[in-house]
Structure 1
């Protein structure tokens, strides 16, 4: 198949990742890097063997597709122009700051007959892939995503910057309508929330607790998933997954720990419990570059007409839930202020 002629819009850190990878992949012909800041743009273009342009409009007639890695506030306008020109788009998460804008982009992509993919890169995590069927039909999900303050993406808060990854993952795993949202948040260093905690309740009974912070001294990207068949812990940072699978005796409710002889209890307590009753398995997937897999998925969708793993509609749905979380944070903050005045 012919390589996809590509432009990367945005010469920042994330745009750099995409451009450097695309330049090495046979699936792409990296035509240009577009950014209004000439120094960073020319440097990245020179490194990747592409052209530096201030605006993507300068090369529209020479590309088939674009990766949009610009500030979130600009996504709607940039992607709208690309779709109107009939170009395929991979836009970094979140697709837009508002669900209404995302809905318009999804409709525009459908009208143009082009691919609109969203950069929820955790869907390509080797740890998630390693977990496989163990995380299907979840009953309870708990995620934690924390990092230090990077001074990037300050046009949005922790919900759209960090938690949006886990919102997308939870929606894809639960595969059900969100019927209840409760959330709280706190601004520490800026005008947006830097810490947030949310509980989502789904129509099928699944419950998800999500925590995000960008003012933490600890880097953490973890998720725990409980199903009727067992428990799975995923570490997105290390690419490892651990499953705990109860034996058939436990699943059928036939295991009674109280009735065990003292020697058997001691044996299980000493370490056999997670070998013989609640069987623990460590899954170590081969190291992969998730952004590279995301780009290859984009190329495949363009070249074959296959649906991308994270289509525009999925990005829209994640933002819609994020809006409900932010609304709940705002309501609870109002209540806190009212109580504080009353005190």
Structure 2
């Protein structure tokens, strides 16, 4: 087997992870790390044995594949140039800031025949893999993704930084067109939204409620799904899956509370999640999801198969994110077109203390 020669473009924190993992994957040959920062690229090159270069363009013709882990605003130009040269690309999420740019990249990949994969790494979380068989036909989905402010990815807001993961997850599970979007968001620390809540209505009747915050004191990455067969909860942090499966007579709508005696009601009240709504929990062993993602990328290149998260998947997630951002911008805090709107719930000016009431 000929190992694809791969480079990592972007020597920041995430690029460093990709480079170190790529260096240890037998099916990949890490040859270079590219970054304008001499200090960053040299540090990662020293750890991995790869060549350090300032400009990724000098590698075209010398590599078969690349991981692009630069700031989002740089994705389009870099990925487009690599795809046009026939280089396979794994681009970190989000694929691009806009749907128009994402469409161009998908078209470029189709024209060149190169693999375009998008780094929605949550698809490789082992808890999701365990839950997947029970996540068919979701009717209601709730996603919460919150963390503290990392001072990274400041070129984008919470939708493209955090919520994009859950947008991709929801689209992959529902597989139906989005017909309506509602959203509102708040800017707290910068010029982009830091907190967002959104609701997606799908053509097949499914509803998804998404919440994301990067200014939260709580770390949470969870998915709750209500299907025609029961409930599935996934905690992506702890890799724990919780399933609630109603008894068959409950599913058939043959269970009637009013028909129970007082003793039967008391018994089921104490044993609700053992006998009536049967609850089970499973925690799966840790898996390096980023490494699994890179293995999937290598497999797609070598075999010619589609990666788990295609360029089209990444594009569709960006398309929905764009709709959410539009709704955030349209939100009127005062109920009128003349008042406050968008992510700025308060004006950018000193807040005056209310006048103290005279004694």
- TM-score (norm. length: structure 1): 0.97
The answer as to whether partners of 2:333 and 2:339 remain within 8 angstroms in 1 is: no
**Counterparts in 2 of 1:253 and 1:70: CA distance versus 1, 3 Å:** same
Pairing 1:279–2:303 present: no
- Give per-residue Cα distances to partners, 1:281-307, cap 9 Å, x unaligned: 112222111111100110010000111
Structure 1 stretches of 5 or more lacking a match?
none
Which runs of 5 or more structure 2 residues have no equivalent in the other structure? 341-359
Q: CA deviation at 1:242?
A: 0.6
Query: What's 2:143 paired with?
Result: 143
Separation in 2 of the partners of 1:206 and 1:79?
34
| CA deviation after TM superposition for structure 1 residue 267, in Å | 2.1
Give RMSD over aligned pairs.
1.3
Q: Which residue of 2 aligns with 1:95?
A: 95
Report what 1:173 is aligned to: 173
Does residue 126 of structure 1 match 2:123? no
Counterpart secondary structure, 1:139: strand
Matches within 5 A, 1:321-340: 321-333=320-332, 336=335, 338=337, 340=339
- Indicate if the aligned counterparts of 1:86 and 1:112 stay in contact, CA closer than 8 A: yes
Secondary structure of the residue aligned to 2:31 is strand
**Pairwise CA distance, 1:170:** 0.6
Structure 1 distance, partners of 2:330, 2:64, is 44
Q: 1:137 Cα deviation (Å)?
A: 1.1
Displacement of 1:247 after TM fit? 1.3
CA distance, structure 2, for counterparts of residue 143 and residue 44 of structure 1: 35
Deviation at 1:45, TM superposition (A): 0.7
Mapped to 2, the partners of 1:335 and 1:226 lie a distance apart of 35
* Cα separation, 1, equivalents of 2:24 and 2:262: 62
Structure 1 pair 239–74 and aligned structure 2 pair: CA distance change class (3 A)? same
- 1:10–1:336: structure 2 CA closer, same or farther, 3 Å change rule? farther
Which structure has greater helix proportion? Answer: 1
Displacement of 1:340 after TM fit?
4.5
Structure 1 position 232 matched with structure 2 position 236: no
Is this contact kept in 2: 1:245–1:280, CA < 8 A? yes
Q: CA deviation at 1:29?
A: 0.7
Other-structure match for 1:213: 213
The worse-fitting range, judged by mean Cα deviation, of 100-109 and 282-291 is 282-291
Per-residue CA shift, 1:132-191, capped at 9, x if unaligned?
221111100000000101111111100000000000011111100000000000000000
Work out whether 1:69 is the aligned partner of 2:78: no
Counterpart of 2:22 in structure 1 is 22
Q: Distance in 2 between matches of 1:202 and 1:313?
A: 19
Query: Structure 1 residues 329-338 or 312-321, which shifts more?
Result: 329-338
Tell me whether 1:53 sits opposite 2:50 in the alignment.
Answer: no
Deviation at 1:259, TM superposition (A): 2.1
Cα distance in 2, alignment partners of residues 134 and 53 from structure 1: 47
For 2:291, the equivalent position in structure 1 comes to: 292
Secondary structure at the aligned position of 1:309 is classed as: coil
Say whether 1:112 aligns with 2:109: no
TM-score by length of 2: 0.92
CA–CA distance in structure 2, aligned partners of residues 2 and 239 of structure 1: 35
